[in-house]
């Protein structure tokens, strides 16, 4: 077959690929091809927010990967759902809308991603958001609808009040000025339906006529003429096809699959490529390395009052929710049920939150496979900046072979320190007066788990991925980085990577919103432009973070003291706490 020619060829219709197709396709003179291994995302179980655990466990929408045996978890293999189909993981995730802390992006820049500081990123959040009710520093006309749950269950407010009683800050909205503290959560849901990247970006782009999407297209490799990327070779129903790119090839297959495509194309660690018979075009040792994730635990409590979602988990309860949602797009089917949460610091000496809470008025596992026998409530709690690093490697050179993935979970000693803090700090919150009318016995870990050894044993058995892998094609300005800060792959021309694999550090929260904003800004950089830097982009912290673990006043603004902030952030990234008499004094 004669290869078709496009201006841009994009590998992957996940969150980033959908954004790129839409934004690059705003120029009607351009022809854009998007290749996606999965199929259509259109299904009731994808659209209905409360049904989120169903597509996550369906082979039509999930690649069905598991990790290699994890040494830090006694050899346990961990479930690793990855989206398959239009919208990628945005079509199967929990829809928690979390921008992250503004200091996340300051840390990106400090780690070498020049231009990615908060004041440069904020305008792109404003461009992409359509926030119900608006708010300070929010967008109200973008493609991604964002709203809050109705918070009809009393336990949502109880959780926030308990956090305040424990001495933490209250945040009116953790996506606005103040990230640290306890408050309502937001979700990317519009008109009662999941607002996936396919719905928000790709479908409108396809309707314009200059964006062509091929589903069932398994990308094999990038094609080169010398050292310039010229297209992509892919398979459809076992038939090899090629597509040529006049301008650029963009790999947006996600943090697990993007490094695989680069490696099959001859870009990656030379020894690994040669071991699979792949000719080396560019020896880049970092491809597939630096793999990060968020882990989390469920801390579960019995509820002494019948106010939880437990009755809705019966067959009849689920049927009622489904029928109401199908008829009205409202009710309990129109929420992800994560309607309040929090962001706190694990200990003194940490600049900004490294622990996240999602509260749920039900005791159940994230994938819906394990339900408590009665009324209960829980938090999903986990650390956000683990220093453990893993890898993604080839199983063989076949495009249809799933990769080998090992996160090396809990391989850094700080992970154990921080996760023990997760459990103990959560217990303290649940012990506050606000929970007294509802608090029963502790279901998990259980009151018998008190010392470090017992908590560590529970962690090894029960810690799970929060499904936020990133970092495997890190952007930066050093020779070890895979790409430059504008996504260009080092050592070759005409090739970029744009997705969560670029992140130098996982953000303090769910990764979908940061992935979308990364792709929004990259789309402009590809076009040779960028939005003006935001004014009033504050960088708030507890003024006494160096000496205390919690505080209700999140008031110190580092926006005009970035050099001091950068030093503190890098010290934390190296595993160093900053004492009061050390790097910073107040």
H or E segment to which residue 193 belongs: strand 193-194
- Rounded Cα distance, 408 and 118, in Å: 30
What pLDDT does residue 368 have?
Answer: 67
Residue 467 in tokens: 């499904």
- Rounded Cα distance, 508 and 383, in Å: 8
Strand partners, 193: 190
Class of domain 4-65+80-526: alpha beta
- Quick one: DSSP state of residue 62? B
SS3 201: helix
Strand partners, 214: 35
For the chain, domain boundaries = 4-65+80-526
What pLDDT does residue 172 have?
Answer: 95
- Rounded Cα distance, 94 and 115, in Å: 30
**What Rg value do the Cα atoms of the chain yield, rounded?**
23
What helix, strand, coil percent values describe the chain, rounded to 5? Answer: 30, 25, 45
> Is the bond leading into 445 cis (omega within 30 degrees of zero)?
yes
Integer angstrom CA distances of residue 211 from 98, 243, 347, 519: 29, 14, 49, 17
DSSP string, 366-418: TTS--B-SSSEEEEEEEES-----BEEE-SSS-TTSPPEEE--TT-SHHHHHH
pLDDT along the chain (586 residues), means of 10: 87 98 98 98 97 94 97 97 97 98 98 98 98 90 96 97 98 96 98 98 97 98 98 96 98 98 98 98 98 97 96 94 97 97 96 98 79 92 97 97 98 96 98 98 96 97 96 96 98 98 98 98 97 94 95 95 93 78 35
H or E segment to which residue 204 belongs: helix 203-208
The single residue listed with the structure tokens 């945040």 is 171
H or E segment to which residue 565 belongs: helix 562-573
Q: What is the pTM of this model?
A: 0.97
- Rounded Cα distance, 278 and 263, in Å: 8
Q: Which of 179, 343, 468, 560 is catalytic?
A: 468
Angle at 372 between CA 366 and CA 376, to 5 degrees: 90
The single residue listed with the structure tokens 């930066």 is 476
Q: 27, 173, 195: which is closest to 99 by C-alpha? A: 173
What pLDDT does residue 583 have?
Answer: 38
SS3 48: coil
Give the number of C-alpha atoms closer than 13 A to the C-alpha of residue 127, restricted to the C-beta side: 21
Read off φ and ψ for residue 271, nearest 5 degrees: -65, -40
Contact between 14 and 83 (Cβ < 8 Å): yes
- Rounded Cα distance, 404 and 183, in Å: 39
Q: How many CB atoms are located within 10 Å of the residue 462 CB? A: 15
- Rounded Cα distance, 213 and 197, in Å: 14
- Rounded Cα distance, 62 and 89, in Å: 8
| Catalytic status, residue 468 | yes
- Rounded Cα distance, 463 and 298, in Å: 8
Q: Which residues line the annotated binding site for FAD? A: 219
- Rounded Cα distance, 574 and 325, in Å: 48
Q: Which residues line the annotated binding site? A: 219
- Rounded Cα distance, 562 and 354, in Å: 20
Contact between 358 and 336 (Cβ < 8 Å): no
What pLDDT does residue 136 have?
Answer: 78
What pLDDT does residue 83 have?
Answer: 97
């Amino acid at each position: 077959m004669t290869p078709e020619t496009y201006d841009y060829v994009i590998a992957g219709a996940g969150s980033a690929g959908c954004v790129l197709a839409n934004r690059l396709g705003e120029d009607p003179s351009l022809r854009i091809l998007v290749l996606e291994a999965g199929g259509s995302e259109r299904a009731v179980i994808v659209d209905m927010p409360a049904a989120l655990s169903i597509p996550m466990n369906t082979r039509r929408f999930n690649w069905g990967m598991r990790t290699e045996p994890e040494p830090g978890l006694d050899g346990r293999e961990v479930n690793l759902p990855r989206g398959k189909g239009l919208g990628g993981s945005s079509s199967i995730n929990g829809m928690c809308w979390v921008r992250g802390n503004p200091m996340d992006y300051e840390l990106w820049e400090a780690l070498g991603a020049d231009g990615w500081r908060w004041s440069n990123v904020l305008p792109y959040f404003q461009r992409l958001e359509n926030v119900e009710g608006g708010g300070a520093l929010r967008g109200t006309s973008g493609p991604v609808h964002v709203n809050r749950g109705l918070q009809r269950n009393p336990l949502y407010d109880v959780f926030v009040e308990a956090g305040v009683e424990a001495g933490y800050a209250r945040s009116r909205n953790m996506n606005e000025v103040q990230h640290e503290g306890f408050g309502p959560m937001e979700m990317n849901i519009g008109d009662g339906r999941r607002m996936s990247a396919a719905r928000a970006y790709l479908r409108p782009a396809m309707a314009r006529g200059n964006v062509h999407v091929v589903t069932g297209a398994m990308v094999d490799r990038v094609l080169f003429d010398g050292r310039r990327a010229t297209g992509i070779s892919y398979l459809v129903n076992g038939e090899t096809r090629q597509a040529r790119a006049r301008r650029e090839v963009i790999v947006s297959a996600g943090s697990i699959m993007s490094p695989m495509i680069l490696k099959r194309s001859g870009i990656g660690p030379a020894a690994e490529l040669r071991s699979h018979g792949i000719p080396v075009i560019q020896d880049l040792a970092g491809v597939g390395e630096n793999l990060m994730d968020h882990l989390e635990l469920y801390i579960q409590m019995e509820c002494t009052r019948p106010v939880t979602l437990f009755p809705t988990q019966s067959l009849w309860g689920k049927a009622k929710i489904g029928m109401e949602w199908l008829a009205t797009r409202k009710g309990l089917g129109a929420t992800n049920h994560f309607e309040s949460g929090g962001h706190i610091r694990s200990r003194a000496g940490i600049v900004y939150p490294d622990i996240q809470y999602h509260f749920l008025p039900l005791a159940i596992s994230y994938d819906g496979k394990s339900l408590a026998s009665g009324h209960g409530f829980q938090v999903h709690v986990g650390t956000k900046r683990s220093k453990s690093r893993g890898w993604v490697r080839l199983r063989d050179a076949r495009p249809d072979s799933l990769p080998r993935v090992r996160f090396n979970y809990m391989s850094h000693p700080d992970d154990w320190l921080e996760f023990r803090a997760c459990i103990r700090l959560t217990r303290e919150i649940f012990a506050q007066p606000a929970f007294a009318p509802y608090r029963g016995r502790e279901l998990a870990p259980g009151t018998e788990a008190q010392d470090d050894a017992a908590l560590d044993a529970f962690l090894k058995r029960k810690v799970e991925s929060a499904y936020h892998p990133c970092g495997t094609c890190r952007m930066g300005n050093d020779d070890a980085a895979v790409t430059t800060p504008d996504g260009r792959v080092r050592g070759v021309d005409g090739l970029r990577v744009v997705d969560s694999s670029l992140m130098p550090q996982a953000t303090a929260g769910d990764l979908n919103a940061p992935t979308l904003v990364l792709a929004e800004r990259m789309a402009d950089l590809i076009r040779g432009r960028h939005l003006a830097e935001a004014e009033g982009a504050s960088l708030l912290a507890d003024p006494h973070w160096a000496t205390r673990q919690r505080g209700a006043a999140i008031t110190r603004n580092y926006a005009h003291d970035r050099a001091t902030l950068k030093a503190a952030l890098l010290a934390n990234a190296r595993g160093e706490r900053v004492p009061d008499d050390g790097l910073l004094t107040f």
